[in-house]
Chains A and B, each alone.
Chain A
């Protein structure tokens, strides 16, 4: 088995609001092996971005915090690290790219300066050296005339170009893990494919792991080794891409599959939609969080939250439909008590 790079265990992160403490993620467990791409899939508001911010510990700056759980990275727990220590990991060993490339770049600094900054920070490069590498990086991410582009400001570049720059910034220090939060959502469809191609190519070249966050099952199918499906702050199903697509187990995953345009399960011409909407954080129903929208809801679903059941060795799902399967090791005690 491949070496584990990142292992998130029972991570709960939350925010303080008018009404008190709100949990945005609920005991998330997810792991990423070396060189692997893991996709975190879910609707907006399901807590995907919070998860990524929590791993980076950027959630502290967004008015939130980690309440429980561990984030193991190279044998260290990121959840309890001081910000000053995290600073040396961020941008160096773990890098992140964000959804909207147009707003993710600082408008008053040139492209080159923004790429070079990481190098100066983490690799003690001089300004000149850093700028040289920055131009190399621009070439690497497929930006033509990099010497000219490096001197330009973000507003002079298109959205797709900006996202390439954001990727160049992320790759500057050769990170082991790249967290990409909806990297293609804000882009045109044709540009989306280019950016995904670029990410795949760079991963093959540089051997990094990717945690890709997306709402798009199609993107996940294309990119992922493993897929984790998130719903209302929790991971409801997780497994290899083959397992998830060949044997989707959780009714929510089923719904997501059926709503992919052109997917074989889709009913002729008309797109499937999951009825209802995702509950806002802090207003979860009792029992299974998906039961109000679930076409297969049973009595037990209204009463009790399902533990993770192992559909196969490489595939877990939090759904009572699979209660005959063995529970995940972590959840066995809970099940016995129930």
Chain B
């Protein structure tokens, strides 16, 4: 054990704030020889190896990358301004007049609106996730590390935030402050950091008692130094999983708020806003409702697949249950006993 600990320490000391040794599992396992001369693969490599063997996760990654690229290159893909109204060319069928997916009731090019909506959705999805992680990590860390009053206060705040119906609070804030993207990101982040805070707090409570933290404290590393050097590493992978799933949630919330008329406002465009229009013209042109919904579904599915992929790659128990199906086959082939 002492050898394990010393290895943990040197690796913590030599590496700056990188996340590359977040899971010191291999060196903590007493059965694995740690004197091996060739460097074992880091946790990121192990993670990637498992992740890339998961077809769903990889499909998710490809789909997400597709949307990212398409969103970034939107102005180069389409020549139409998504906000340009041209009543002469309203309600065109797909393909007519060079409009690949047709136009809506105001003559706006549907494809170009879809493309530019991608930007909004991804922007909101990722900024909300990042801000939530920032808020949740700070509050969870303070709460878990210092305990006592800091913990009580933070957890009451978590209780309060968990008790206010999220959608109502979002609507309330947007109604009061006006529907601007910055307010939307702010309120979505402020209503979704709680799970991260609890997760970070839990990890901290668990690890606070571990010996290398005691040791770090003994050699005089400051409290905050301990928090961010030693403890956060251990929480970072679960945070990533949580944040990934949060991206999907934020995209769904944005589209919902925009659908309700409280989110993105014309002339800007978003999938939710497009759906809101489409419902009004459901009788005239049912196809209009199809595209934006499909985009939301695909992006959110992709993000969720990625999140689950990371989680599965991290969770050794998940792997064990996964082989149950194979076990049944093996049992049929090899087992002496029949069931």
- Chain A positions within 8 Å of B, measured between CB atoms, are 16-18, 21, 45, 57, 60, 63, 65-69, 79-83, 277-278, 280
B319:A81 contact, CB within 8 angstroms: no
- Of the A-B pairs whose beta carbons lie under 8 Å apart in the complex, a sample of 10, sorted by A's number, is A16-B327, A18-B319, A65-B330, A65-B331, A65-B335, A66-B335, A69-B336, A80-B336, A80-B337, A83-B339
B337:A65 contact, CB within 8 angstroms: yes
A315 → chain B, closest Cβ, in Å? Answer: 30
A60:B323 contact, CB within 8 angstroms: no
**Roughly how many angstroms separate A45 CA and B327 CA in the complex, as a whole number?**
21
User: Which residue of the partner chain A has the closest CB to B337?
Assistant: A80
B335:A277 contact, CB within 8 angstroms: no
Answer yes or no: B39 CB below 8 A from chain A CBs.
Answer: no
Given contacts A83-B339, A277-B31, whether A67 and B334 have CB atoms under 8 Å apart is yes
Proximity bits, B218-254, A CB within 8 Å = 1, else 0: 0000000000000000000000000000000000000
Identify the 3 closest CB pairs spanning chains A and B, nearest first.
A65-B335, A16-B327, A16-B330
- Chain B positions within 8 Å of A, measured between CB atoms, are 30-31, 319-320, 323-324, 326-327, 330-331, 334-339
Q: In the complex, what residues of B have CB within 8 A of residue A16's CB?
A: 323, 326-327, 330
Tell me which of B31, B330, B336, B339 contacts A79 (CB under 8 A). B336
User: Which residue of the partner chain A has the closest CB to B32?
Assistant: A280
A-B contacts besides A65-B331, A66-B336, 9 pairs, CB < 8 Å: A16-B323, A16-B326, A16-B330, A18-B319, A57-B337, A63-B324, A79-B337, A82-B338, A280-B31
Q: In the complex, what residues of B have CB within 8 A of residue A21's CB?
A: 330, 334
A12 → chain B, closest Cβ, in Å? Answer: 9
A17 → chain B, closest Cβ, in Å? Answer: 7
Q: In the complex, what residues of A have CB within 8 A of residue B338's CB?
A: 80, 82
Task: Please indicate which of the listed interface residues A65, A67, A68, A278 has the most CB atoms of chain B within 10 Å of its own CB.
Answer: A65
A66:B337 contact, CB within 8 angstroms: yes
Q: In the complex, what residues of A have CB within 8 A of residue B327's CB?
A: 16, 63
**Roughly how many angstroms separate A67 CA and B327 CA in the complex, as a whole number?**
13
A277:B334 contact, CB within 8 angstroms: no
User: Which residue of the partner chain A has the closest CB to B324?
Assistant: A63
User: Which residue of the partner chain A has the closest CB to B33?
Assistant: A277
B320:A63 contact, CB within 8 angstroms: yes
Tell me which of A66, A81, A277 contacts B30 (CB under 8 A). A277
B31:A65 contact, CB within 8 angstroms: no
